[in-house]
Chain A
Amino acid sequence: AQSVAQPEDQVNVAEGNPLTVKCTYSVSGNPYLFWYVQYPNRGLQFLLKYITGDNLVKGSYGFEAEFNKSQTSFHLKKPSALVSDSALYFCAVRATGFQKLVFGTGTRLLVSP
């Protein structure tokens, strides 16, 4: 079975500082990994994905994520946070050959001015 863990309910960071939102996964076989962001009263927006190849994936709005197979992690990062990055972030995994996308519980990112 697939599962995703986002160990932090909330991450607080000051504007301009680097941010990291953690994600670990469990899946049989090779994983497809995704990050989505949800703003208040909105749907989920796709940020980036890891399918294969380079372990560092770059996505929308300056976000990037690093796939680490040995640690089964896919942490989301940004070098310099913006107040407008404040939102709910979801990590998700899909196993190769399957269509079911399983989400973590979400991490609320709060960027203070």
Chain B
Amino acid sequence: DAGVIQSPRHEVTEMGQEVTLRCKPISGHNSLFWYRQTMMRGLELLIYFNNNVPIDDSGMPEDRFSAKMPNASFSTLKIQPSEPRDSAVYFCASREILPGTANTEAFFGQGTRLTVV
């Protein structure tokens, strides 16, 4: 398996523009997570999905952020409008949740480095 695939790897955009980050989880994984990494705040969980359904979006910083998972093989994180303080590395991770267990680890993508100028 190619692992978790994120695109683009780098994104530079102007303040006010819409930004869409994409993620393809590992095939067969039924749980997907979006994290944001900054120097100041470290790794923050933004939102996670189980079986394509958003379970906990309490980490989404503002209404400008939205995430979707239309099917088991694709998720997007959208920022509209973007602001300079959104500059960070955004990671997607996926995990297989097996019935009766909760001990599987999450696998991370390479991340998208977002710069908003």
Contact = CB atoms under 8 A, between A and B. Distances in A.
A94 B48 CA distance: 14
A105 B105 CA distance: 19
Interface string A3-47: 000000000000000000000000000001010100000111110
B48 A100 contact: yes
Given A32-B103, A99-B55, A101-B33, A45 B108 contact: yes
Interface in B42-72: 42-43, 45, 48, 50, 55-56
Q: How large is the interface on A (under 10, 10 to 19, 20 to 34, 35 or more residues)?
A: 20 to 34
Interface string B1-41: 00010000000000000000000000000010101000000
Contact of B31 (A96, A99, A102): A99
18 contacts: A42-B111, A43-B110, A45-B108, A46-B106, A49-B103, A52-B103, A96-B102, A97-B102, A98-B102, A99-B56, A99-B95, A99-B97, A100-B45, A100-B48, A101-B33, A101-B45, A103-B43, A106-B43
Interface of B: 4, 31, 33, 35, 42-43, 45, 48, 50, 55-56, 91, 93, 95, 97, 102-103, 105-111
